[in-house]
A and B are shown apart, each in its own frame.
Chain A
Amino acid sequence: MSHILRIENLHVAVDGKAILRGVNLEMKFGETHAMMGPNGSGKSTLGLAIAGHPNYVITEGTITLDGEDITEWEADQRARAGIFMAFQRPVAIPGVKTADFLRHAATNVRRPDRKEGEDLIPMREFRKELKAKMSQLKIDTEFARRYVNDGFSGGEMKRAEILTMAMLSPKFSILDETDSGLDADAVKLASASIAEIGRDKMGLLIITHHDKLLEHNPPQFTHVMLGGRIVETGGAELARELHDHGYDRIRKTYPDAEAANQEMLAKEEAVAV
C-alpha cells in the first residue's frame, strides 16, 4: 500500500489568533514521524487541524490525502477516509457504551459510503474482533461495557484511544501526547501498544515531549515545531537530542520562531487570566 498525507503551507487560526504559520509535512504509509516542540508551539493544533476540528480554521494552505484535497472536509469524512487522531484529553460520552460506540465507528469507517440507518457490523462478529484486540492490548474486557471515557483514569483513556485506533485501522494516525499524565510503566505499555497496532500498518505522527513513547517506535523522521512552524527535521537522533538537552539549541538557532512562540504563549496566558 502506498498512501501519502501531505500538508502544504498550512496556516491555522483559533479564535482569530494565528497559530500555525506555514507547516509543510509529508508522511507515507508505514512511516513513523515524531513531532516535538516546546509548549504552545502548535503541535496539538496541527493534529486537530488535520483531524478537522471546526474551531481550528485553516486560513491558508492545503491538506491532501492520496492527492485528494481534504482541507474543507468535515471531521467524519476525514475519519472515513482514513485519518485518525488519538486525543490528548478524550471526552466522556456518558450513557454510551464503549463497545456500541466502537461498533458504530468501525462500521462507518470501514464502509465509508454507509448511509445512516443501514446495518452495523453484525454484533457477534464485532464482539469477537473487539475481544481479540482487547486481549492483544491487555485491556480488561469489562472495559467494553463501560461508558465512553466516563470515569476512566488517565491511563485507561489513552489505552481506549489506542484500542479505537486498532479497531479503525486508519491510514494515518496522529497521537497527540499519548504519554501525558501517565506514569513510566503506563508510557511503556502505551509505547508497546502503539508499535503493536500501528508500526508498519499505518503512518504514525507521534506528538510528544519525551522520547519514552518512541522507545518502541523509533521515528524515521523527527520534526521540531516552534512558533507554529516546523523549524528542523532529522532522524531518531534528533528526538534523543531534544529529550536529553531540551530546546535551548533550537530556540537560539531560530530566534524568529522563538519570538513567535513567546508571543503565542503570552496571548494564551492573557486569555487564561
Chain B
Amino acid sequence: MTTTISRNDLAGFNQAGFNQLLERRIDPVWITQARKDAWAAFESMGWPNPRDENWMRSDLRGFKLDRYQPIDESETQSVQNAPVRLIQGVDVGGSLRSENGVVTAESLDPKYAAQGVIFGSLSRCARDHAELVKKYLHSQIDIHVDRFAALQAAMWTDGYFLYVPKNVVVDKPLHIHAAMGDGKVDLTHVLIVLEEGAETTVLFESTSSNEDADGFHCGGLELVLNARSNLRFVGLQDWGSGTWHFAHKRASVGQDANLQWTIAAMGARFAQVDQRVALVGPGASSHVNGVMFTRDKQHLTYNTIQQHSAPHCTSDFLYKAVLQDRSRTVWRGMIKVDVGADKTDGYQRNDNLLLSDNARADSIPGLEIKADDVRCTHGSTSGRVDEELIFYAQSRGFTRVEAVRLIVTGFFQQIFDRVTIESVREALGVAIARQVRQYE
C-alpha cells in the first residue's frame, strides 16, 4: 500500500518543510550534511538588513516567504506554455529542461558524451558523478552571505550540471530552460565546470507559464573555468511579472581562460542578483554584457564585483538599462584588485536610458585597488530619451513608438555588437522590441 502526501500536507520553507525534503530525497550523505549545515545557517540569520550596502536600495517588504511552498520533487512537474526564445534556428548539442525546479528532460549529443562531457540533472549527477560535483558544488558561493544563499543551499531541488573534460570542444551550444508555473517556486543550481582547454557555449533561459506569473526563484550559479578554457554563457531572465527573483552568481576564471557572459534581465517584479567574476589565474579575461529592460513597477538590482586576484587579467563589464513606467534599476559595480594583481585592466560601465519621468536608475560604480600597477576605468550615464531624436525619426516617417523602439535598439546595439551568437542577438532584439510600449 502506498500513501501519497497531498499538497496540503506539505510544509512551507520552515523546519518541518526542510525535514520533509530530507526524507523524500535520495541524496548522498555529504549533500544531506551540507543541506543541514546550510539550514542551520539559514535559521541563525535574519533577513537582509536594509542598511546593508547590497540591500539598502531593495525593498523586501512585499516579499512573504510563507506564501510559497517547496516543490515535492517526487511528484511529476508540468509547466505549460513557458516560452523558449534563445534557440530559434539553432542546432543545439544538448538540452535540459526543468519545471518548477526539477529537471524533467535531459539530452546530450552522443558524440559529446563519448568524449566525457557530462550534462544533466544536478541531483542525478551528484549521485552518478559524486566526486566531481562534490569538488565544485558551492565552491564559489559563500552560503553565509545572506539568507537567500543559505536557503538555496539547504533546499535546492535540482539543477544543471555541465562538465567538459580537458581540451574537449563542444562546438554546438547547449541549452537550458528553466520553466516555472504561476505561484510556484524554482530553487535550482547551475554548476558548470570546464577543465583545462575546454570550450563551450551555454544558452540559459528562465521563463514562466504566463506573462504575469507569480513565483519565487532562489537560485545559485557557479561557473568554474580552469586554465585556457573558454566559455560563452548567456542568461535570459524572463520570469513572469509577479515573480521574486534572488540569485547568487559566481564565476572563477583560471589562467588564460576566457569568459564571455551575457545577462539579459527582462522579467520578474523584483530581482536581487549578486554577480561576481573572480580572475584567479594570470592572463584570465572576462567580458560581461548586461541588458536590463524594465516596465511597470519592476525593481531590478544587480550588484556586480570584478575580483582581480591574479596579475595580467582583464575584466570588462558593460551594463545597459532601459526603463519604462515606474520601474527602477539599481546597479552597483565594484572592481576589486588584490595585492599583487599587477597589470590589471579593469573596465566597468553602466548606461541607463529612461523612457519615463517616473522611472529611476541608480548607478553606483566603485573601485577598490590594492595593487600598484593597474589600469581601471569606470563610468555611468543616465538620461531621458532625447525628444529631438524622436522628432528626427518622426520627420522621416517613423511613428512615435517606432522611433522610441529604434532609439532603444540603437542604445543596446553596443552590447549586441559584443554578443557573438546570432540567435541570441536576434532573440534579445525581439524581446526588447516587444517590450517597448506605446507611451507619450
Contacts and interface: CB of A to CB of B under 8 A. Distances in A.
Contact of A109 (B387, B397, B399, B407): B397
B413 A74 contact: no
Given A76-B399, A104-B406, 6 more contacts: A52-B394, A53-B391, A74-B400, A93-B406, A94-B414, A108-B396
Interface in A69-104: 74-76, 78-80, 84-85, 87, 90-91, 93-96, 101, 104
A51 B394 CA distance: 9
A151 to B, nearest CB: 14
Given A94-B413, A96-B410, A147-B410, A54 B399 contact: no
B417 to A, nearest CB: 8
A116 B391 contact: no
Given A93-B389, A101-B406, A116-B402, A76 B394 contact: yes
B411 interface: yes
B410 A94 contact: yes
Interface size classification for chain A: 20 to 34
A75 B394 contact: yes
Contacts of B391: 53-54, 75
Given A104-B402, A116-B401, A95 B412 contact: yes
B398 interface: yes
A129 to B, nearest CB: 16
B411 A105 contact: no
25 contacts: A51-B395, A53-B391, A74-B394, A75-B395, A76-B397, A76-B399, A76-B400, A76-B403, A79-B395, A79-B397, A85-B395, A87-B392, A93-B389, A93-B406, A94-B411, A94-B414, A96-B406, A101-B393, A101-B396, A104-B406, A105-B398, A108-B396, A108-B398, A116-B402, A147-B410
A164 interface: yes
Contacts of A52: 394-395
Give the most central of A75, A90, A147: most B CB within 10 Å.
A75
A137 B389 CA distance: 25
Contacts of A90: 392
B398 A76 contact: yes
A91 B411 contact: no
B386 to A, nearest CB: 7
A109 B407 CA distance: 19
B391 to A, nearest CB: 6
Top 3 nearest A-B pairs (CB, nearest first) are A95-B413, A95-B410, A108-B397
A95 B409 contact: yes
Contact of A80 (B388, B397, B409, B414): B397
A23 B392 CA distance: 24
Nearest to A74: B394
A104 B397 CA distance: 8
Interface in B396-434: 396-403, 406-407, 409-414
Given A54-B391, A116-B402, A91 B386 contact: yes
A202 to B, nearest CB: 16
A93 B406 CA distance: 9
Contacts of A204: none
A162 interface: no
Contact of B396 (A116, A147, A164): A164
A168 interface: yes
Nearest to A112: B397
Nearest to B414: A95
Contacts of A101: 393, 396, 406
Interface in A88-136: 90-91, 93-96, 101, 104-106, 108-109, 116
Interface string B351-387: 0000000000000000000000000000000000011
Contacts of B400: 74, 76
Interface in B315-356: none
A83 B409 CA distance: 26
Contacts of A91: 386, 388-389, 392
A98 to B, nearest CB: 11
Contacts of A95: 409-414
Contacts of B410: 93-96, 147
B394 A168 contact: no
